[in-house]
C-alpha cells in the first residue's frame, strides 16, 4: 500500500524544489556574467553584458544601467537590454523618482505595483501601456557611495521578484561595481602610458638633437689664422645655419624613433 504525503508536506516540498531551481538559475547566471565581464576591461562591454544577462534571466520589460552624474540632478543611461543601441543618454532624475531615491540613499528600491504607487502617478499612463508590474532599482555602490544603479521592470503578467531575486540582483550589482572599477583603473593606466610615451619621445628627440649638435660642432672646420675674429657670425653663417636647422628638423623624429 502506497503511503500518501499530507497536502501541506507536498506543498512544502514543491516550494523547496522551486527555490532550489531558482538558486540554480541564479548561480548559472552569475557564472555567465563573471565569464563575460571577466574577459574584458572595456566599460561599454561590461555594462551591456550585465543588462543583457539580467534581461534574459528574468524576461524583463526593461533592464537598464545608469551611472550617476555630478550634481545629483541627472543620470547617464549607459546600457539597455531592450535597445542595445541606446548608450550614453542623459536623463533627468525628476522623471525617475525611484532611480533618484536609489542613488541618493544607496539602498534598493522595490515597487511591487507600479500602477498604484503614488510616486509614479505622472507616468502611470505610460506604465499601463507597457503593462509594467514591478520596478526594482538596485544601486551600484563603491566604497559606500552609489555610483550608478541597475533598473529592472517586469511585465504585469509575469512573476514578481522574490527575496532571492533581489539578493541575486544585489550580487550582480556588486560584481558590476568591481568590474567597472577595474575598467576605470585600466583606462587610467592606458592614459598614463600614453603620457609617458609622449614624454619619452620628447626626451629621445632632445637626446637626438644634442647628439646632432655635438657631431656638428666636432665636424665644423676651425678658423684659419689671420681671419677677422670680429666677423659677424650671425650674418655670415646664417644661410648655412638655416640649412642645417632645416635638415635637423627633418631627421630629428627619425633619429628619435631609432633610439
Q: What is the pLDDT of residues 163-203, one digit of tens each?
A: 889 999 999 999 999 888 888 787 777 777 766 666 677 77
Helical H segments across the chain, by residue range: 7-38, 43-58, 97-105, 124-129, 163-219, 233-236, 238-258
Predicted pLDDT of residue 231: 45
Residue 251 — very low, low, confident or very high, per pLDDT cuts 50/70/90?
low
Q: Residue 6 phi/psi, 5° resolution? A: -60, 155
- 154 falls within a domain: yes
Q: Does the pLDDT value for residue 148 go beyond 90?
A: yes
* pLDDT-derived band at 93, boundaries 50, 70, 90: very high
Q: How many CB atoms lie within 10 A of CB 170?
A: 16
pLDDT at 252 > cutoff 90: no
Output the pLDDT for position 90. Answer: 93
What confidence category does residue 218 fall into, taking pLDDT thresholds of 50, 70 and 90?
A: low
Q: Which residue has the cell 525628476?
A: 94
**Segment (H or E) for 147:** strand 145-155
pLDDT band for position 209 (50/70/90)? low
221 in a structural domain = no
Question: Beta strands 109-111 and 74-80: pairing type?
Answer: unpaired
- The answer on pLDDT for 238 being more than 80 is no
pLDDT in tens, 120-139: 888 888 888 888 999 999 99
Integer CA distances (angstroms), 161 to 138, 140, 232, in order = 12, 18, 90
pLDDT higher than 90, residue 64: yes
Whether 200 is covered by a domain: the verdict is: no
* The pLDDT value given to residue 31: 83
Counting the structural domains of the chain, the total is: 1
Mean pLDDT taken over the chain: 80
Q: Is residue 1 part of a domain?
A: no
Give 106's pLDDT tier (boundaries 50, 70, 90): very high
C-alpha pair distances (Å), 47 with each of 77, 83, 153, 158: 10, 13, 17, 25
Where does residue 117 rank: exposed (0-12), middle (13-18), buried (19+ CB within 10 A)?
middle
CB 44 within 8 A of CB 127: no
Decide if 10 is inside a domain: no
CA neighbours closer than 13 Å in the CB half-sphere of residue 70: 0
Is it the case that residue 256 has pLDDT exceeding 90?
no
pLDDT at position 78 is 94
Average pLDDT over residues 83-88: 85
Residue numbers of the domain that contains 119: 15-189
Residue 76 has pLDDT above 60, yes or no: yes
**Model-wide pTM > 0.75:** no
CA-derived radius of gyration, the chain: 33
Contacts of 244 (CB under 8 A, 6+ apart): 216
Q: pLDDT category, 40, cuts 50, 70, 90?
A: confident
Residue 104 belongs to a domain: yes
Q: Is 178 helix (H, G, I), strand (E, B) or coil?
A: helix
Look at residue 249 and tell me if it is in a domain.
no
What distances in angstroms separate CA 97 from CA 52, 61, 200, one per listed residue?
Answer: 24, 19, 50
Task: Tell whether 211 is covered by a domain.
Answer: no
Element (H, E) at 116: none
Least confident of 109-118, 187-196, 219-228, 237-246: 219-228
Q: Where are the beta strands (DSSP E) in 26-108?
A: 62-68, 74-80, 89-92
Residue 166's CATH number? 3.30.450.40
Chain-centroid distance of CA 103 in Å reads 17
Residue 42: how many CB atoms within 10 A of its CB?
12
Amino acid at each position: 500500500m502506497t503511503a500518501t504525503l499530507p497536502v501541506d508536506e507536498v506543498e512544502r516540498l514543491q516550494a523547496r524544489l522551486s527555490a532550489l531551481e531558482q538558486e540554480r538559475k541564479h548561480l548559472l547566471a552569475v557564472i555567465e556574467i563573471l565569464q563575460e565581464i571577466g574577459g574584458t576591461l572595456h566599460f561599454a562591454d561590461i555594462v551591456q553584458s550585465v543588462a543583457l544577462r539580467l534581461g534574459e534571466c528574468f524576461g524583463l520589460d526593461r533592464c537598464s544601467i545608469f551611472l550617476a552624474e555630478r550634481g545629483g540632478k541627472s543620470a547617464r543611461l549607459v546600457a539597455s537590454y531592450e535597445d542595445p543601441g541606446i548608450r550614453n543618454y542623459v536623463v533627468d532624475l525628476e522623471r525617475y523618482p525611484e532611480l533618484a531615491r536609489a542613488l541618493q540613499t544607496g539602498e534598493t528600491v522595490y515597487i511591487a505595483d507600479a500602477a498604484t504607487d503614488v510616486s509614479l502617478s505622472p507616468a502611470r499612463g505610460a506604465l499601463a501601456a507597457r503593462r509594467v508590474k514591478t520596478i526594482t532599482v538596485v544601486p551600484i555602490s563603491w566604497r559606500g557611495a552609489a555610483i550608478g544603479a541597475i533598473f529592472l521592470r517586469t511585465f504585469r503578467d509575469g512573476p514578481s521578484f522574490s527575496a532571492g531575486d533581489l539578493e541575486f540582483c544585489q550580487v550582480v550589482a556588486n560584481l558590476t561595481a568591481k568590474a567597472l572599477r577595474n575598467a576605470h583603473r585600466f583606462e587610467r593606466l592606458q592614459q598614463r602610458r600614453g603620457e609617458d610615451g609622449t614624454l619619452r619621445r620628447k626626451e629621445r628627440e632632445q637626446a637626438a638633437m644634442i647628439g646632432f649638435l655635438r657631431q656638428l660642432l666636432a665636424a665644423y672646420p676651425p678658423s684659419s689664422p689671420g681671419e677677422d675674429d670680429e666677423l659677424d657670425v650671425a650674418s655670415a653663417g646664417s644661410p648655412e645655419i638655416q640649412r642645417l636647422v632645416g635638415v635637423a628638423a627633418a631627421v630629428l623624429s627619425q633619429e628619435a624613433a631609432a633610439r
